[in-house]
Amino acid sequence: MSSNEESWYRDGLRFGCTQCGNCCSQRPGYVWVNEAEREAIAAELGMTVEAFVEQHTFRVGFRYSLNELGPKKQYDCVFLVREGDKTKCGIYTVRPKQCRTWPFWNENLPNERAWNHAAELCPGMNKGKKYDFVQIELRRKGVE
């Protein structure tokens, strides 16, 4: 978007994480991790990058994605930690950009319909803290 006058969310959007874990589970998908993210996560875990890649990722073409735990574990991200009805990220301080920018992803922001479709799986969308247009754009780009 070139200006906030052109955006349907120019007045802001609400989001407050409920720690439901839906964004980290439920269906097969990809959590892309670039080279810098792989290095940071490996360091956080006290592993070599090679060991981290072998144990916690799989390759898709030229890219890497974090492993999932499979259908019996609701396709949880390998780093999703369940504690009762709440969840948390086991690598929160070094989580990938894809995770840091939820729900302000390009695919959720083209129009209100796309946003509300994503909100069907995320109980924190349309609730909680109000993000103004500039905050949304910064989060979308991975700048917190």
pTM: 0.86
Of 138, 136, 117, which Cα lies nearest the Cα of 11? Answer: 136
Dump pLDDT digits (tens) for 72-128. 667 889 999 999 889 999 999 999 999 999 999 999 999 999 999 999 999 999 999
Contacts of residue 132, Cβ cutoff 8 Å, sequence gap at least 6: 12
Question: Between 144 and 137, whose confidence is greater?
Answer: 137
Dump pLDDT digits (tens) for 46-81. 999 999 999 999 999 999 999 998 766 678 899 999
Dump pLDDT digits (tens) for 35-45. 999 999 999 99
Please give the single-letter amino acid code of residue 96: P
In the predicted structure, residue 4 carries a pLDDT above the cut 50:
no
Contacts of residue 11, Cβ cutoff 8 Å, sequence gap at least 6: 133
Instruction: Say how far apart CA 31 and CA 34 lie, in whole Å.
Output: 10
Alpha helices in the chain (DSSP H): 35-45, 49-56, 97-100, 112-119, 133-140
Average pLDDT, the chain: 91
Dump pLDDT digits (tens) for 11-34. 999 999 999 999 998 777 899 999
